[in-house]
Amino acid sequence: MTILSNQRTPWRFLVDPPLSPELNMAIDEAISIAFSEGKVPPTLRLYRWSVPSLSIGSFQKLESDWLGFLKTKSIPLVRRMTGGRALLHDQELTYSVVSSTRDPFFSEGIKGTFYTIANGLIAGLRQLGVDAEIHSPARGERTNRPHPSLCFASTSWYEITAGGKKLIGSAQRRWVSHFLQHGSLILEKSKIENSLLSGNQIALAELLPGLPPTERLEEAFRSGFEAALPISLKSGSLTEEELARAGLLTKEKYGNDAWNFHRETVV
């Protein structure tokens, strides 16, 4: 079915340069708050990381053997507000989506939202000539988790695979009226020697003759989301209020060891 222009919901499209791990997470939360207050439209954001960083899920326990690795390699840690497991962010393109749980395309719980967004991701990958799939475990299938603490060690419902391995991993936080989902497309496997890489992980560079320029990647996912969803993406920027809130969240939460190591918020 062809979607007419007047049937499309306007969304904001943000593209950020590489930023610190604490600022990246703070911006995602600032967008979700602004959206919940009715101050910004639904938003698709694409971003990168200025330094290799380890993120862990909101309720995840930091494993003791990771501490030496983080210290030795001078890798910062950030705790996400979403669930999921640990991921080393290095050579990747990260996306985040903030929208309403009352939108019919996102109203069927976590799995339904994962599936809708997965269609946008798949359409973007196809723009690049990548043959990828939306993972849907067969009934009764047990997910293989050789290291359950790592994001890419296993593939969950409606994540993206290629060649039988995980290409994009995602995590979500859902409230009554809105949600935040973000995820990582691995562009190239990290050159940092570490135990946080999984044999279940595949990088975009392994699927193409060469990595497309950053601008081509961004445009592919913009076009993919517009092809898969009845939305119209308009390039925009963060509001002054979002920027101020992100700065505060960086200082009091995502840049603070109390949150990152112990999940304690600063009053």
Active-site residue list:
151
| Residue 193, both tokens | 């020697």
**Cβ within 8 Å of residue 161, ≥6 positions away:** 132, 133, 134, 135, 155, 167, 202
Q: How many CB atoms lie within 10 A of CB 99?
A: 25
Which candidate, 118, 215, 216, places its Cα nearest to that of 167? 118
Which candidate, 29, 17, 13, 48, places its Cα nearest to that of 250? 29
Torsion of CA 219, 77, 176, 41, to 10 degrees: -30
Which amino acid is it at 130?
Answer: V
Which candidate, 174, 37, 205, 31, places its Cα nearest to that of 102? 174
Please report the sign of the dihedral spanned by the C-alpha atoms of residue 243, residue 245, residue 250, residue 251: positive
Q: 77 - beta bridge partners?
A: 54
